[in-house]
Every structure is written in structure tokens, then in C-alpha cells.
């Protein structure tokens, strides 16, 4: 069985670039989810619900893969809730 880390580059700069790209994609997905939630407010659409569910699953998968790639010495980034 091949591990996820077997396909990763060994160069620190390449790993940093990969993590940066994943973080950017996660932020993009978060923005898309927020936009879809605003679009959904006040109306019921099964297609929109399905799209939101799929985006949330993609986001969760990316976050899991990012935590696998992030070194143990680096604390996970925290988002501040602004309510």
C-alpha cells in the first residue's frame, strides 16, 4: 500500500509551495460555501443543497490532507470568528 507521503517532493521549498497552494484552495472553497449559503437563504433548492454538500466534502478532504502535510512542529492555523 502506497502512503500519501510517498508521492510528495523532498525539497522544503516544494513542500511549502504545495501547502500554500492547498491553503489557497481551502480559502477559495470556504468563500464559495459562504456565497452559496447566502444564495440559499430564504429559499429551498435541492440542487443548491447538493452543491454545498459537495463543496463541504471537498473542503474537509483538503483540510485533512493539509494536516497530513503540515509538520508536527507547526501549530495549526486558527481562524477568528467575527460575529
Average pLDDT over residues 51-59: 85
pLDDT at 52: 82
Q: What is the pLDDT of residue 78?
A: 66
pLDDT band, very low/low/confident/very high, at 71 (cuts 50, 70, 90): low
pLDDT in tens, 4-45: 667 788 888 988 998 999 999 999 999 988 888 877 775 556
For 47-71, letters b (16+ CB in 10 Å) and e give eeeebbeebeeebeebbeebeeebe
pTM: 0.46
Per-position DSSP letters for the chain, written without gaps between them? ---GGGGS-S-HHHHHHHHHHHHHHHHHHHHHHHHHHHHHTTS--HHHHHHHHHHHHHHHHHHHHHHHHS-TTSPPP-PPP--
Amino acid at each position: 500500500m502506497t502512503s500519501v507521503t510517498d508521492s510528495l517532493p523532498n525539497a522544503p521549498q516544494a513542500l511549502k509551495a504545495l501547502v500554500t497552494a492547498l491553503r489557497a484552495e481551502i480559502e477559495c472553497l470556504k468563500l464559495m460555501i459562504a456565497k452559496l449559503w447566502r444564495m440559499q437563504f430564504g429559499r429551498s433548492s435541492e440542487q443548491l443543497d447538493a452543491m454545498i454538500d459537495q463543496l463541504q466534502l471537498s473542503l474537509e478532504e483538503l483540510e485533512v490532507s493539509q494536516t497530513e502535510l503540515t509538520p508536527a512542529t507547526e501549530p495549526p492555523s486558527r481562524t477568528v470568528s467575527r460575529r
